[in-house]
Amino acid sequence: MKAVVIAVIARLKSRASRKAGTMLHRALGVATIGASLLFAGHAAAQQVFAAASMKNALDDVSAAYTKETGKKPVLVYGASSTLARQIEKGAPADVFISADQDWMDYAQKHDLIDTRTRHDLLGNALVLIAPATTTGNVDLTPGGTDLDARLGSGKLAMGDPAHVPAGLYGKAALEKLGIWSRVQGKVAAADNVRNALLLVARGEAPYGIVYKTDANAEKRVRIAGTFPADSHAPIVYPVAVTKQANRADADPFYRFLQTPGAQATFQRFGFTRP
| Residue 168 identity (one-letter amino acid) | L
Separation CA 74–CA 49 (nearest Å): 9
Separation CA 250–CA 49 (nearest Å): 12
CA 119-122-128 angle, to 5 degrees, is 140
Separation CA 28–CA 148 (nearest Å): 61
List the strands of the sheet with 207-211, edge to edge.
187-190, 156-159, 207-211, 126-131, 221-226
SS3 for 69-97 is HCCCCEEEEECHHHHHHHHHCCCCCCEEE
Report yes or no: 243 and 111 within 8 Å, Cβ to Cβ.
Answer: yes
For residue 60, how far is the Cα from the chain centroid? 15
CA 75, 77, 80, 83 torsion-angle sign:
negative
Number of H helices, E strands in the chain: 11, 10
Report yes or no: 200 and 214 within 8 Å, Cβ to Cβ.
Answer: no
- Is 200 annotated as a binding-site member? no
Separation CA 26–CA 76 (nearest Å): 33
Residue whose C-alpha is closest to residue 217's, from 51, 57, 39: 57
The CA–CA distances, whole Å, from 156 to 73, 207, 245 equal 35, 5, 39
- Is 14 annotated as a binding-site member? no
- Is 193 annotated as a binding-site member? yes
Annotated binding site, which residues?
Answer: 53, 80, 166, 193, 211
Binding residues for molybdate: 53, 80, 166, 193, 211
